[in-house]
Chain A
Amino acid sequence: MNRVPSSLIDELASDLAPVQPLRLWQGVALVAFAAVATVLLVELLDGLWHGAFTGQASPEFFITNGMLALLGAAASFAVVKMASPRVGNSHEGARWSALMLAILPVTALVMLGISGFFGTVTSDMYGVDCFLAGSAFGLVTAGALTLWLRRGAPVSLNAAGTYTGIAAGAIGSFTYGLACPVDHIGHLGIWHVAPVVLSAIIGRFAIPPLVRW
Chain B
Amino acid sequence: MIADEAEMASMMAAAQKGDAGMYRALLAEVQLWLERYYRKRVAPAQLDDLVQEVMLAVHHKRATWDPSRAFYPWLAAIARYRWVDHLRKVYRSAEDELGDHDAPEDSEEEAVMARMSLERLFVHLPEKQVEVIELVKIEGLSIAEASAKTGQSESLVKVNIHRGLKKLSALVEKAE
Q: Which residues of A contact B (CB under 8 A)?
A: 1-4, 6, 8-10, 12-24, 82-90, 151-153, 155-159, 213
Contacts and interface: CB of A to CB of B under 8 A. Distances in A.
A21 B67 contact: yes
A155 B78 contact: yes
Given A1-B44, A20-B63, A12 B73 contact: no
A15 B16 CA distance: 12
Closest 4 CB pairs of A and B: A85-B77, A18-B18, A155-B81, A19-B63
Contact of B173 (A8, A12, A89): A89
Nearest to B115: A87
A87 B77 contact: yes
Interface of B: 15-18, 20-21, 23-24, 27-28, 31, 35, 44, 47-48, 51-52, 55-57, 59-67, 69-70, 73-74, 76-78, 80-81, 101, 103, 115-116, 169-170, 172-176
Q: Which of B21, B78, B116: most chain A Cβ within 10 A? A: B78
Contacts of A89: 77, 173-174
B59 to A, nearest CB: 5
Nearest to A158: B170
A155 B24 contact: no
Contacts of A4: 31, 48, 51-52, 55
A15 B15 CA distance: 11
B66 A84 contact: yes
Contacts of B169: 156-158
B18 A2 contact: no
Nearest to B173: A89
Given A4-B55, A153-B57, A21 B63 contact: yes
B78 to A, nearest CB: 6
Q: Which of A2, A87, A151: most chain B Cβ within 10 A? A: A87
B23 A13 contact: yes
A13 B172 CA distance: 28
Contacts, number: 127
Contacts of B27: 9, 12-13
A83 B55 CA distance: 18
Nearest to B19: A16
Given A23-B66, A89-B174, 15 more contacts: A1-B103, A2-B44, A2-B47, A4-B51, A9-B55, A13-B20, A13-B21, A15-B59, A17-B18, A21-B66, A83-B64, A85-B74, A87-B77, A87-B80, A153-B57
Nearest to A90: B174
Contact of A24 (B57, B63, B66, B74): B66
B64 A88 contact: no
A83 B15 CA distance: 20
A8 B34 CA distance: 15
29 contacts: A1-B47, A4-B52, A6-B28, A9-B27, A9-B31, A12-B27, A12-B59, A13-B27, A14-B20, A16-B15, A18-B17, A21-B66, A83-B64, A84-B74, A85-B173, A86-B74, A87-B76, A87-B115, A87-B116, A87-B176, A88-B173, A89-B173, A152-B64, A153-B57, A155-B78, A156-B169, A156-B173, A159-B173, A213-B57
A157 B166 CA distance: 11
A153 B23 CA distance: 20
A23 B59 CA distance: 18
